[in-house]
Amino acid sequence: MSIVDTCSHGLTSRGGSPRREARVVMVGCGGRLESPGGGEIQMLSTARFLASIGVEARVWRTGGEHFGDADCLHLFGSLPEHRRLAQQAHRRSLAVVVSTIAWFDLSSYWREPRPLLGRAMAATRFLARAACPRLPSWRRRLYHEADLLLPNSTAEADQLVRYFGVPASQIHVVPNGADERFAEADPGPFCELMGVENYVLYAGRVEPRKNPLGLLRAMRDTDVPIIVLGDTAPQHEVYFAECLRAAGPNVQFVRGLQHDDPLLASAYAGAGCLALASWYETPGLVALEAAMSGTPLVLPAGGCAAEYFGDHAQYVLPDDLPGIRKAVFCGLERGRSDALAAYVRENFSWTAAARATRDAYEKVM
């Protein structure tokens, strides 16, 4: 099945007559709503666009009542604390769905820039899981106890089957989306603010998995303007300091820009290319947002970005600095693509994602 093959229809009773839409409570990673990352943006955007098609979805925040009169609990992310919430929901006869937002890849575990012992332990756990999908863990229990898993790609779905023994019938692929406001953005405000044009844009949290340091090192000693747009991930202040040291005079850092700030859309529209050299992406909301306006894409080979973008993007390995540099220059030369913009607008809107999510609720109601 293609990732863009989705259908939509209202919830119906067993007899075929229409009934009310589901009432859904959504839970993400506690404590991140004040500084949301991709998973939190996915949750908030899904809730907003579900409301536009008649599904009552509310986001649970710390300190509030968990479930209220909900029919379904929708968990975003694969977190240990989510298993406890899923069990509580089932005790109250609520359906439970999980947007897994996960990726499992041996080469990334082994090559990721962290101490040797940590890499060895992660690789060992992966190999054990690959050899024995029945190996107990909180993650496997969460996946099997949920009524339905909602990965963002068929590649992620295949991993859930292969590494955790999840039945294919328990999986419903829901592609990520992007707000169509990014398609009509004006590049002027951001370019005027920063005093640059045709720049290379990195957008996302500043942390080792996202690998902005690799991008900066790949583009060292060039005069190409580079914008690093994103806040430092918690507990990665030392990594941010490394990025500052690696940055040349052509690099500017922008922090504290909120997702709904018009300057974010302007930054995408003004970029000569978006460059993400992450260890993996699933596929990365910023890539979809930038692509809405046809911005050339340089994306990680790890993860499922290629499943989304195919020949519309270039793909790089995170530790191949010459390859990253070459792809960035190719992206700058390629220029904006109307075909890319039209493709993403047609297939990866949040409205389409909301409809696919509603179909998932119908399966478990």
Kindly give the parts of the chain with pLDDT less than 50: 1-2, 4-18
pLDDT at position 1 is: 41
CATH assignment, 180-347: 3.40.50.2000
Q: Is the dihedral of CA 124, 129, 131, 135 positive or negative?
A: positive
Task: Give the Cα separation of 332 and 310 in Å (integer).
Answer: 19
* Helix ranges restricted to H, the chain: 38-52, 80-91, 106-111, 116-131, 138-145, 154-164, 188-194, 212-218, 237-246, 262-270, 285-291, 305-309, 321-334, 338-347, 350-364
Q: 88 is written with which tokens?
A: 């509580």
Instruction: Tell me if 248 sits within 8 A of 218, measured CB to CB.
Output: no
pTM for this entry: 0.87
Alpha-carbon distances of 151 from 68, 69, 100, 145, 245, rounded to whole Å = 26, 26, 5, 16, 37
Domains 23-177+349-364 and 180-347 share a fold: yes
Whole-number pLDDT of residue 68? 81
**The predicted structure's pLDDT at residue 15:** 46
For the chain, the domains span: 23-177+349-364, 180-347
Looking at the domain 23-177+349-364, which fold is it? Rossmann fold (3.40.50)
pLDDT digits (tens, 9 = 90+) for 43-93: 999 999 999 999 999 998 765 567 888 999 999 999 999 999 999 999 999
3 state SS of 231? coil
Question: Running DSSP on this structure, what letter comes out for residue 21?
Answer: P
CA distance 143 to 164: 8
Strands 95-99 and 148-149: parallel
Q: What are the pLDDT digits (tens) for 314-355? A: 999 999 999 999 999 999 999 999 999 999 999 999 999 999
How far is Cα of residue 205 from the mean position of the Cα atoms in its chain? 12
Query: b or e along 308-341 (b: 16 or more beta carbons within 10 Å of the residue's beta carbon)?
Result: bbeebbbbbbbbebebbbebbbebbeeeebeebb
How are the residues of the chain apportioned to helix, strand and coil, as percentages rounded to the nearest 5?
45, 15, 40
